[in-house]
A and B are shown apart, each in its own frame.
Chain A
């Protein structure tokens, strides 16, 4: 198993509160990603990082921000959580730009009430 740890694994929060999800890797992989999984939509990319302090938006980035201050950590922040952000969030990592596999963490279940 790839060394990816997500925290918290489960969280219930109220609308309008800030939430931060953490992803920690021990593989020293260059690329890190945050995806969300929703019924009927599959896995959709929120943000990704291609190096320390280098990040870019994915297809569903509105309402989310990320930071990567160290190779091993990638943080996803919901500045003001909304019910539409209730989802399962997966962190993933990969190493190179071509023909490479992406490895996923166990997921973080977030419920916004």
Chain B
């Protein structure tokens, strides 16, 4: 049973435009969320995170939005660059139940020059 879902397997965006990657979760115990970026033949690398006490966190071109009532988070990349082409995973961590991170299935982003 997938508790963290990324319903779009792929996304293509023109260079300079906004990329929006979405993630939904079902477990109301999740209280910390992360986004990871993965290039082929490499391990995932941490991108940005957000605590459930916030609804937005920004780091340069990357912004994560959290809508707790909808159990939805999104990653905005503005402006998108060709080097952003990668697979993006969202992850969630439940409070007070150990340190087990739950990952989504990933969205493959292609930024077209």
Contact = CB atoms under 8 A, between A and B. Distances in A.
Interface of A: 4, 31, 33, 35, 40-45, 48, 50, 56, 58, 90, 92, 94, 96-107
Interface in B9-57: 9, 32, 34, 36, 41-46, 49, 51
Interface residues on B, range: 20 to 34
Nearest to A99: B32
Interface of A, helix, strand, loop or mixed by DSSP: strand
Given A98-B95, A104-B44, A42 B101 contact: no
A100 B31 CA distance: 11
A50 B101 CA distance: 13
B44 A97 contact: no
B99 A90 contact: no
B45 to A, nearest CB: 7
Interface of B is mostly: loop
10 contacts: A43-B103, A90-B43, A90-B44, A94-B99, A97-B96, A97-B99, A98-B95, A103-B46, A104-B44, A105-B43
Contacts of A100: 32, 93, 99
Contacts of B106: 42-43
Contacts, number: 65
A51 B32 CA distance: 22
B6 interface: yes
B100 interface: yes
B100 A102 contact: no
A76 to B, nearest CB: 15
B99 A43 contact: no
Interface string B92-113: 0101101111111110000000
B44 A43 contact: yes
A57 to B, nearest CB: 10
A48 B98 CA distance: 10
